[in-house]
């Protein structure tokens, strides 16, 4: 070969490795039809606009379409878990299934660096997708009522919704990333069970037992945070005997905890 | 360079390798064993993709699991089609090269590696590649950083005869350049010519290791089956002249669709060939086709065990 290996061994920094790995992972998402389906799926909540009295549609309608505060939002109750599930689970599970993980493990990259880069990638992709989804819904409402003034007058709703959905993605994608690492057979199916088991038991069963919104539901904590910090003028939500800051810390703890667990599991994992 | 000592690995109830010990030093080490014998598991242990349940795996005197600096010295081609199908060939090699080489060098190195494996990509996506092209691309990605050790798991799989010949030439060339090669196959003739050392593995255990001549000697102890195709009366004549020879174990007539073939087993193939040639020449027999049927590696290993 024409080139010579450098005398002093070259070693990319962790930051450079993350950039180079992310280039590969982003390319996959851009090429993958799933990404575009996840964006287009946001049209589904707009179908429910027909049930609203057109004169009553406002920026609050948008909040109820995107947030699960009253458990009626198609986006946050059905579509959002699906987006997080597909992105989170597939991050490592697809590499395992296609055996491309072998290519990554054969390079001078630590397993933790692969997990960290995957996490960063799905965070960015997931947040971009849900932000586009929210924008499509918002624009859909404006088109439906033929009034674009609410878009500019209530931009805070859109930004609040983006932050709310971003938190959803951060929390759930991290949990599903972990599941994708530890579960070898049918991780998507198990992820679906976990997502709806959490929603069913956390929100409904424990909610009934608590006589209000249960602290055992992750989505309740996200709604609690959103009602206090992101959409305070539009969303009313509280958890019995709990401050919003506590919910925020719980969400943050879930993200950090599951990311650490993902790295640990990846490190201990066999890739047959 | 590579040292496995008493290594065991099981997947649930299935024991993939059991107290396997082997070593590989400079040169080309052929890793020969039937399918499911534990070759790929051994390679994955060497690459640090699997944790051994027991025993020690050392590569360049280091433990391979999660050892990023060690991977700088190794190139690995797995048996799987572990490629990103949406990428183009050069993009694939360059992307992975960036994790080892300086960014500005990665592209040049990728071009050189692709050229070295004789791959003409012309902007096609990997999903459109043939099996042979994919195999070459995987090798290009494995040698792009000029590794000291190249591990090839079944690199001949799915290649046509020309592809196999090119692959052998490439391995020999890399060996000449000083790269240590560990290459596995379940087909003997793919390895015997190019290997400087061979390891026989069966049911997760090393049966023998040493120079190819020694290994071939061991394999030659296996009763060889030789098939003759000819008009039936010629085969009858041949069998009549060979039946009382000591070197012949059994003689069988076997129906193959409309033809009848003659199958002879012998413990001593070399002597048999000279005796058979003599008999054929002396009796002016018209033999249309002769085929050695002992390339079924699995039966050889069963015999050796």
C-alpha distance from B55 to closest chain A C-alpha (Å): 16
Q: Which range among A161-165, B62-66, B222-226, B253-257 shows the weakest confidence by mean pLDDT?
A: B222-226
C-alpha B222/C-alpha B161 separation (Å) is 27
3-state secondary structure of A58: coil
Q: Do B72 and A110 touch (CB under 8 A)?
A: no
C-alpha distance from A224 to closest chain B C-alpha (Å): 40
3-state secondary structure of B163: helix
C-alpha B80/C-alpha B154 separation (Å) is 9
Chain centroid offset of residue A262 CA: 16
Interface check A7 vs B, CB under 8 A? no
Residue identified by tokens 């309740």 is A220
pLDDT in tens, B74-98: 999 999 999 999 999 999 999 999 9
Q: Do A106 and B112 touch (CB under 8 A)?
A: no
Query: What residues pair up with B8 in beta bridges, in sequence order?
Result: B54
Q: What is the ipTM of this complex?
A: 0.81
Interface check A106 vs B, CB under 8 A? yes
C-alpha B70/C-alpha A49 separation (Å) is 59
Size of interface A-B (CB pairs under 8 A): 105
Measure CB to CB from residue A24 to each of B41, B95, B113 and give the nearest one: B95
Chain B neighbors of A12, CB-CB under 8 A: 98-99
- A138-142, A174-178, B99-103, range with greatest mean pLDDT: A174-178
What rounded mean pLDDT belongs to chain A? 84
Q: Which of the two residues, A4 and A37, has the higher pLDDT score?
A: A37
Residue identified by tokens 């909540």 is A45
pLDDT value of residue B35: 83
Residue B184 neighbours by CB under 8 Å, 6+ apart: B30, B31, B32, B33, B39, B40, B43, B152, B153, B154
Chain A neighbors of B96, CB-CB under 8 A: 24, 103, 107
Q: Is the pLDDT of residue A1 over 60?
A: no
Annotate A165-186 with b (16+ C-beta within 10 A) or e (fewer): bbbbbbbbbbbbbbbbbbbeee
Q: Which of the two residues, B236 and B303, has the higher pLDDT score?
A: B236
Q: Which of the two residues, A264 and A139, has the higher pLDDT score?
A: A264
Q: Do A272 and B98 touch (CB under 8 A)?
A: no
C-alpha A124/C-alpha A136 separation (Å) is 18
Residue A216 neighbours by CB under 8 Å, 6+ apart: A201, A202, A206
Measure CB to CB from residue A5 to each of B91, B141, B146 and give the nearest one: B146
Residue B34 neighbours by CB under 8 Å, 6+ apart: B186, B202, B297, B298, B301
Contact B118, B43 (CB under 8 A): no
Residue identified by tokens 């997990």 is A115
The number of CA neighbours under 13 Å toward the Cβ of A250 is: 19
Fill in the DSSP letter of residue A71: S
C-alpha B51/C-alpha B126 separation (Å) is 31
Smallest CA-to-CA distance from A168 within A179, A158, A176 is with A176
pLDDT in tens, B163-211: 888 888 999 999 999 999 999 988 777 788 889 999 989 888 888 888 8
Residue of B70, B96, B103, B134 to mutate for A, most A C-beta atoms under 10 A: B96
Task: Pull the structure tokens for residue B68.
Answer: 């990023």
C-alpha A158/C-alpha A59 separation (Å) is 9
Q: Do A10 and B100 touch (CB under 8 A)?
A: yes
Task: Pull the structure tokens for residue A111.
Answer: 């397993």
pLDDT in tens, B271-291: 888 888 888 889 888 888 877
Average the pLDDT over B39-50 and give the result.
95
Give B226-262 as a DSSP string.
EEEES-HHHHHHHHHHHTT-TTEEEEEEEEETTEEEE
Interface check B11 vs A, CB under 8 A? yes
pLDDT value of residue A7: 46
Q: What percent of chain B has pLDDT over 70?
A: 95
Annotate B283-294 with b (16+ C-beta within 10 A) or e (fewer): eebebeeeeeeb
Q: Do B101 and A10 touch (CB under 8 A)?
A: yes
C-alpha distance from B157 to closest chain A C-alpha (Å): 17
Percentages helix, strand, coil for chain A (3-state, rounded to 5) are 75, 0, 25
For residue A9, name the pLDDT band (cuts at 50, 70, 90).
Answer: low
C-alpha B206/C-alpha B29 separation (Å) is 14
Q: Do A106 and B75 touch (CB under 8 A)?
A: yes
Interface check B2 vs A, CB under 8 A? no
pLDDT in tens, B119-168: 887 778 999 998 888 999 999 999 999 999 999 999 887 777 788 888 88
B92 burial (CB, 10 Å; 0-12 / 13-18 / 19+) is buried
Chain B neighbors of A6, CB-CB under 8 A: 102
Nearest CA in chain B to A95: B82
Q: What percent of chain B has pLDDT over 90?
A: 46
Measure CB to CB from residue A2 to each of B68, B103, B112 and give the nearest one: B112
Q: Is the pLDDT of residue A102 over 70?
A: yes
Task: Pull the structure tokens for residue A162.
Answer: 């983006």
C-alpha B190/C-alpha B184 separation (Å) is 9
* Crossing angle for the helix pair A33-40 and A111-145, to the nearest 10 degrees: 40
pLDDT value of residue B164: 82
Go through the domains of chain B in sequence order and give each one's CATH number: 2-220 (3.40.50.300), 224-304 (3.30.70.600)
Q: Which of the two residues, B297 and B270, has the higher pLDDT score?
A: B270
Fill in the DSSP letter of residue B6: E
Nearest CA in chain A to B144: A1
* 25-84 in chain B: CB under 8 A from chain A: 41, 44, 47-51, 66, 68-72, 74-76, 78, 80-84
Q: Where are the domains of chain A?
A: 14-268
Give B36-103 as a DSSP string.
TSSHHHHHHHHTTSS--SEEEEEETTB--TT-HHHHTTEEEE-SS----TTSBHHHHHHHHHTTTS-H
Residue of B83, B84, B108, B125 to mutate for A, most A C-beta atoms under 10 A: B84
C-alpha distance from A195 to closest chain B C-alpha (Å): 29
End-to-end distance of chain B based on CA atoms, in angstroms? 28
Chain A neighbors of B49, CB-CB under 8 A: 102, 105, 270-272
pLDDT value of residue A34: 82
Query: What residues pair up with B4 in beta bridges, in sequence order?
Result: B22, B57
3-state secondary structure of B116: helix
Q: Is the pLDDT of residue A2 over 50?
A: no
Q: Do A103 and B96 touch (CB under 8 A)?
A: yes
Q: How many residues does chain B have?
A: 305
pLDDT value of residue A3: 46
Give B115-184 as a DSSP string.
HHTT---TT-BGGG--HHHHHHHHHHHHHTT--SEEEESSTTTT--HHHHHHHHHHHHHHHHTT-EEEEE
Task: Pull the structure tokens for residue B135.
Answer: 């195999």
Residue of B50, B100, B170, B204 to mutate for A, most A C-beta atoms under 10 A: B100
For residue B303, name the pLDDT band (cuts at 50, 70, 90).
Answer: low
A37 burial (CB, 10 Å; 0-12 / 13-18 / 19+) is exposed
Interface check B15 vs A, CB under 8 A? no
Interface check B127 vs A, CB under 8 A? no
Residue A245 neighbours by CB under 8 Å, 6+ apart: none
C-alpha A122/C-alpha B159 separation (Å) is 37
For residue A200, name the pLDDT band (cuts at 50, 70, 90).
Answer: confident
Contact A251, A228 (CB under 8 A): no
Give B199-233 as a DSSP string.
EEEETTEEEEEE-HHHHHHHHHTS-EEEEEES-HH
Q: Do A271 and B44 touch (CB under 8 A)?
A: yes
C-alpha A173/C-alpha B174 separation (Å) is 44
């Amino acid at each position: 070969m024409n080139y010579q290996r450098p005398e002093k061994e070259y070693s990319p920094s962790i930051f450079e490795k993350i950039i180079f790995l992310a280039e590969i992972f982003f390319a996959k998402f851009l090429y993958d039809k799933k990404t575009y389906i996840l964006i287009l799926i946001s049209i589904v909540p707009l179908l429910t606009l027909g049930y609203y009295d057109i004169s009553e549609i406002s920026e609050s309608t948008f909040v109820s379409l995107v947030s699960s505060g009253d458990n009626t939002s198609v986006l946050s109750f059905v579509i959002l878990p699906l987006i997080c599930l597909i992105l989170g689970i597939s991050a490592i599970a697809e590499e395992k299934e296609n055996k491309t993980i072998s290519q990554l493990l054969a390079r001078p990259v630590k397993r933790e660096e692969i997990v960290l880069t995957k996490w960063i990638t799905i965070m960015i992709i997931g947040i971009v997708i849900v932000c586009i989804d929210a924008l499509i819904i918002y624009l859909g409402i404006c088109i439906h009522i033929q009034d674009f003034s609410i878009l500019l007058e209530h931009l805070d709703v859109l930004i609040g919704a983006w932050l709310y959905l971003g938190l959803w993605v951060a929390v759930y994608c991290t949990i599903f990333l972990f599941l994708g690492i530890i579960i070898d057979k049918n991780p998507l199916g198990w992820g679906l069970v976990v997502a709806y088991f959490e929603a069913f038991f956390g929100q409904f069963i424990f909610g009934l037992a608590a006589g209000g919104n249960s602290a055992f539901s992750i989505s309740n904590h996200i709604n609690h945070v959103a009602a206090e910090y992101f959409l305070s003028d539009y969303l009313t939500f509280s958890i019995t005997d709990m401050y919003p800051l506590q919910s925020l810390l719980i969400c943050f703890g879930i993200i950090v905890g599951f990311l650490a667990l993902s790295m640990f599991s990846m490190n201990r994992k066999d890739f047959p | 360079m590579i040292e496995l000592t008493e290594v065991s690995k099981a997947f649930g109830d299935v024991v993939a390798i059991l107290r396997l010990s082997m070593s590989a030093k400079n040169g080309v080490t052929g890793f020969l064993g039937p399918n499911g014998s534990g070759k790929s598991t051994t390679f994955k242990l060497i690459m640090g993709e699997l944790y051994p349940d027991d025993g020690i795996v050392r590569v360049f005197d280091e433990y391979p699991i999660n050892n990023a600096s060690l991977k700088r010295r190794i190139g690995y081609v797995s048996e799987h089609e572990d490629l990103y199908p949406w990428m183009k060939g050069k993009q694939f090699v360059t992307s992975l090269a960036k994790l080892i080489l300086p960014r500005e060098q990665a592209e040049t190195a990728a071009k050189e590696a692709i050229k070295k494996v004789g791959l003409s990509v012309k902007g096609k996506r990997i999903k459109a590649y043939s099996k042979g092209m994919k195999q070459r691309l995987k090798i290009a990605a494995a040698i792009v950083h000029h590794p000291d050790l190249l591990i090839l798991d079944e690199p001949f799989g799915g290649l046509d005869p020309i592809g196999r010949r090119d692959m052998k030439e490439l391995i020999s060339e890399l060996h000449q350049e000083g790269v240590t090669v560990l290459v596995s196959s379940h087909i003997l003739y793919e390895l015997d010519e190019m290997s400087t050392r061979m390891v026989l593995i069966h049911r997760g255990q090393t049966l023998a290791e040493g120079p190819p001549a020694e290994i071939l000697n061991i394999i030659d102890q296996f009763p060889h089956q030789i098939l003759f195709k000819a008009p039936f009366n010629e085969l009858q004549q041949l069998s009549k002249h060979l039946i009382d020879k000591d070197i012949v174990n059994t003689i069988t007539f076997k129906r193959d669709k409309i033809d009848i073939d003659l199958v002879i087993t012998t413990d001593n193939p070399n002597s048999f060939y000279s005796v058979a040639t003599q008999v054929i020449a002396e009796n002016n027999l018209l033999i249309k086709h002769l085929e050695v049927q002992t390339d079924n590696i699995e039966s050889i290993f069963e015999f050796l065990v």
